[in-house]
Amino acid sequence: MPEYLPTTPYRGTRDFLPPEMSVRMQVFGHLYDVLERYGYQRYDGPILESAEIYERKSGQEIADQQLYTLVDRSGRRLALRPEMTPSVARMIAGNAGSLQFPVRWYSHPNCHRYEKPQRGRVREHWQINADIFGSDSPNCEIEMFELIHDLMRGLGASRDMFVVRANDRNLLSSALTVLVGVTAEQLPGVFALVDRWEKYPQDALAAQAEEIGLADKQFEKLGEVLGAGTALLDELPTEIKANSNLVQVLSGDAASLVRFDPMIVRGLAYYTSTVFEVYDTSPENNRALFGGGRYSDLAGMFTPQQIPGIGFGMGDVTLIDFLNTHGLAPQPRSEVDVVVIPVTGEQAAAARSVARELRGTGLRTSTPIELRKLGKELTRADKAGARAVVIVGQEDWDAGNVTVRSLATREQRTVPFADAPGTVRELLG
């Protein structure tokens, strides 16, 4: 007996059959439309990059535990991209001389991380990225928050279904230093601890705090700081707040778009000030959906030119989970709108001519590959989701006519061949 290979995909990756792909394309199409209405231009880049750009800037968890790496025949260490931001920083730096800053770019790459597959996490995912490069203005933060709200609205989400939680890493650093007594050497470890605060039990967090070197009173104070909400801003030095774009946003007319939250820190090492995450408010799916932030020096890996940036990445896994949780996922589209059926094989060429005319008007149209009896072809067309059929019989065709039938109402008309597209559209409503 032959040994057959498995039909299942590699663990943590997914097959998308046509119905699921239809849902995804509808969802992504709405997102592309919103992004382009804001003036974002689409770009793309290679799936293989130098492993060094992730090891230097993406953070220890990605670099040490999640990278898919390989060595090519010339000895170069490469990685399958786990995210797009270092790649776009490289592209921006390499083309800075020909760009008119600020620029708005977006992409939709597939990314790979060696993670334990679970709800919301897989090893290959698709992520919509939106970035602004070349401006330090708080208007960038405002646009990001407005864009997020319009993207979610474009998918049918109401304001009560999600919340944008934001923080400033500089403000948090000040709070940790001034109020908790964290040293500069301890800050990276405490940032990682804060990033786990809502995901781990308190005893596990306390044990990690002890490893970092925090005393019990410091750990207790840390909990108070993280739970203070907007009241924390009153305890911070004025000069620190004066340099915060997020504070300016919170004091202006865009404040309703975002909620200040000291617990938002983001695990990626390249974020420098504003960070934010979008959370599902449903108790059934109470988790972060996607997030992003500001990076003032990411392009500095590639150029001495200072090119600040801000952006976010919206992953497909958590996004589809959100839509399913709230009943917002669209239905798969049918295979076709209309099927053109020749009564016998002798009318096959005529049926293809009719199909070409229908396709020319934008109707998704097919003809039988292997002709069956008319009744079976009508059943097959109905199962394919077609809402109408055009039947080509020899006697009608010789007279220049075809028969158009609605599969929903069973209404049937014999019309001139030239009138078939208009009649189909009329019967389809």
266 annotated among ligand-binding-site residues: yes
131 annotated among ligand-binding-site residues: yes
Rounded Cα gap, residues 129 and 133, in angstroms = 13
Helix, strand or coil for residue 268? coil
271 annotated among ligand-binding-site residues: yes
> Residue type at 415?
V
Give Cα separations from 194 to 117, 199, 206 (angstroms). Answer: 23, 10, 11
208 annotated among ligand-binding-site residues: no
Strands 259-260 and 103-107: unpaired
Q: Bridge partners of 391?
A: 341, 403
Give Cα separations from 173 to 190, 273, 295, 299 (angstroms). Answer: 10, 10, 16, 23
113 annotated among ligand-binding-site residues: yes
Q: CA gyration radius for the chain? A: 28
Q: Output the DSSP codes for 15-48.
A: ---HHHHHHHHHHHHHHHHHHHHTT-EE----SE
270 annotated among ligand-binding-site residues: yes
Rounded Cα gap, residues 52 and 69, in angstroms = 10
CA 365 to centroid of chain Cα atoms: 31
32 annotated among ligand-binding-site residues: no
> Residue type at 43?
Y
Rounded Cα gap, residues 28 and 313, in angstroms = 13
Helix, strand or coil for residue 218? helix
Rounded Cα gap, residues 101 and 94, in angstroms = 14
127 annotated among ligand-binding-site residues: yes
**How many other C-beta atoms lie within 10 A of the C-beta of residue 153?**
13
Question: In this structure, what DSSP letter does residue 58 have?
Answer: T
Binding-site residue ranges for L-histidine: 83-85, 113, 127, 131, 266, 270-271
Binding-site residue ranges: 83-85, 113, 127, 131, 266, 270-271
